[in-house]
Amino acid sequence: MHPWNVTPEKAKSIQQQLAPQVSFTNSVPTEARWVAGVDISGANSDGLATGAVVVLDLPALEVQEVKIAQAVPGMPYIPGLLSFREVPVLAQALESLTIVPDIIMVDGQGVAHPRRFGIACHLGLLTDIPTIGCGKSILRGKHGPLETEQGSQAPLVDRDEVVGMALRTRSGVSPVYVSVGHKIDLESAVRWVLSCCGGLRIPEPTRLAHQAAAGRLAPRDPEMGQSKEETQTRLFV
């Protein structure tokens, strides 16, 4: 798409150029079968960060495939520029999948971002797969009061624009913040996050991806009754 090792000023310019390409039209298949979660660890003593992708089946949410990749991040952590640090290593993990997911969930923001182009948008454009941002904290926007019951929602608004949804995924716990990444509408994104939480605050795909990135969930190939060669499909062209 573009170089990844760039200055912060260039990174912001790239985000502004790509933001208009984000699609808010729901393109998740009616019979969606696979949902993937992605996450990345901090760098280890050798400077390597571990990116992980975990693919679960729907609606059972049973783990089908776990892949990891390691790389030295090309940019330090800078709020609002997370994708330039994390997407290259996540892309390596996604490339190694044998199952192509119908949905990708990201522990981070989509359009709830200063330039309306968070990591979920970046990853969605790169893969051309419907992508959802589900952050644990707010990067941009404010919302009104939120009821304490599971499923309660309040629009996340920035500069008079609804950029996401504060969503209570479990009664009595802090909400998560859902926003469009790519090829999905906000209502559908909220529905998918709720359906993937399994009674916990964090959606199961990203919760397990966090475990895999931390080395607490071993890599795994799918058991589909086919050889890897028969099921392999590249995500990027």
- What is the spatial distance between Cα 28 and Cα 19, in angstroms, rounded to a whole number? 20
At 170-214, the pLDDT tens digits run: 999 999 999 999 999 999 999 999 999 988 999 999 999 999 999
> Mean pLDDT across the chain, nearest whole number?
92
Q: Would you place residue 231 in the very low, low, confident or very high pLDDT band (cuts 50, 70, 90)?
A: very low
236 has a pLDDT exceeding 80: no
**At 63, which helix (H) or strand (E)?**
strand 63-71
| Contacting residues for 105 by C-beta, under 8 A, at least 6 apart | 35, 36, 37, 38, 131, 132, 134, 192, 193, 196, 203, 205, 206
Confidence of residue 223 (pLDDT cuts 50, 70, 90): low
Domains, the chain, ordered by start: 30-217 (3.30.2170.10)
Q: What are phi and psi of 53, to 5 degrees?
A: -130, 130
Six-digit token string for 231: 């099921």
Is a pLDDT exceeding 90 seen at residue 237?
no
**Residue 153 above 70 pLDDT?**
yes
Sheet holding 49-57, edge to edge: 63-71, 49-57, 34-40, 103-106, 131-135, 176-182, 161-167, 153-158
Measuring CA to CA, how many Å separate 19 from each of 1, 4, 99, 138, 199?
13, 16, 28, 19, 33
Cα distances from 96 to residues 74, 92, 202, 231, in angstroms, run 21, 7, 25, 12
